[in-house]
């Protein structure tokens, strides 16, 4: 709204209020009554502003944020169903500390909020030597290229604008895909080249695991039936299986 338009509207409302007070005076001839209620209304105004602008606005904002978060977690769930879950297991084989990683991230139904916090802290600084020879890079390249359109579709989702971490994860995966696609063959790569790809894998995996843990914690709190399946099938356990025992 332009400043001039705002001033015109403000003047109209002020004039309308003054006119109604003047009509009140013409009818009742009671200035005391007018100023009594005027002062009372002005005294209540700060409370009204607090209730409307701060309390109600905060409640509506929180509800809107929760709605966006629910939609975002649906997008994240689709990502892990189509891409993320397989990458969690495949890229794990690149780490020489894979046994330690599996032990620290072996989510179970008994995990508490503290366990999830500790796991996220660990995921953000996953260390150890990464050896690309632990997996078939050609298969990884083909898998990522096949999922490119799906990943591009996720970037078009406006809800992702509210989640910088997940956007960073997608960019890390896109970069890894481009690095692999830029090489016609993964055979006979130089050690320096393998080291560069390994650093890209480590970066992408850190983002991937962090988002996966946050997503699984969300499932545990809100969708226990979905969490049950994840807890039985995730790759950080000795014998993942969908069978309920």
Q: Name the strand (E) or helix (H) holding 205.
A: helix 191-222
My answer on whether 34 and 89 are in the same domain is: no
Number of domains in the chain: 2
At residue 12, does pLDDT exceed 70? Answer: yes
**Entry pTM:** 0.74
Residue 80 and residue 147 in one domain = yes
Same domain, yes or no: 161 and 183:
yes
Question: Residue 29 sits in which domain range?
Answer: 3-59
Q: Are residues 103 and 205 in the same domain?
A: yes
Distance CA 183, CA 186 (A): 7
Q: At what angle do helices 148-155 and 57-79 cross, to 10 degrees?
A: 170
Q: How far is CA 77 from CA 111, 191, 218, in A?
A: 20, 36, 10
Q: Rounded mean pLDDT of the chain?
A: 85
- Residue 135: count other Cβ atoms within 10 Å of its Cβ: 16
Whether 34 shows a pLDDT value over 80: the answer reads no
Distance CA 50, CA 63 (A): 19
Quick check: 113 pLDDT over 70?
Answer: yes
> For 115-130, what is each residue's pLDDT tens digit?
999 999 998 888 778 8
Could you tell me if residue 240 is inside a domain? no
DSSP assigned state of 162 = G
Q: Which range scores top for mean pLDDT: 7-21, 61-75, 218-232?
A: 218-232
Q: How many CB atoms lie within 10 A of CB 60?
A: 10
């Amino acid at each position: 709204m332009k400043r001039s338009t705002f001033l015109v509207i403000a003047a109209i409302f002020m004039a309308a209020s003054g006119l109604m007070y003047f009509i009140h005076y013409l009818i009742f001839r009671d200035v005391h009554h007018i100023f009594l209620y005027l002062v009372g209304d002005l005294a209540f105004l700060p409370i009204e502003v607090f209730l409307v602008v701060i309390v109600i606005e905060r409640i509506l904002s929180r509800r809107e944020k929760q709605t966006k978060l629910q939609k975002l977690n649906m997008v994240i769930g689709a990502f892990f169903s189509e891409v993320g879950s397989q990458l969690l297991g495949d890229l794990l084989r690149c780490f020489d500390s894979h046994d330690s990683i599996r032990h620290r991230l072996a989510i179970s139904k008994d995990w508490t909020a503290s366990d999830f916090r500790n796991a996220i802290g660990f995921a953000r600084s996953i260390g150890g030597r990464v050896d690309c020879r632990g997996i078939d890079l050609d298969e990884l390249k083909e898998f990522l290229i096949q999922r490119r359109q799906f990943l591009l579709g996720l970037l078009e989702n406006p809800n992702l604008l509210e989640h910088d971490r997940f956007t960073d994860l997608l960019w890390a995966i896109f970069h890894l895909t481009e690095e692999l696609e830029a090489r016609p063959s993964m055979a006979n790569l130089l050690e320096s080249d393998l080291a560069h790809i390994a650093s890209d894998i480590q970066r992408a995996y850190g983002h991937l695991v962090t988002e996966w843990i946050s997503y699984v914690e969300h499932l545990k709190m809100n969708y226990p039936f979905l969490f049950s399946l994840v807890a039985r099938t995730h790759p950080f356990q000795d014998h993942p299986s969908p069978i309920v025992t």
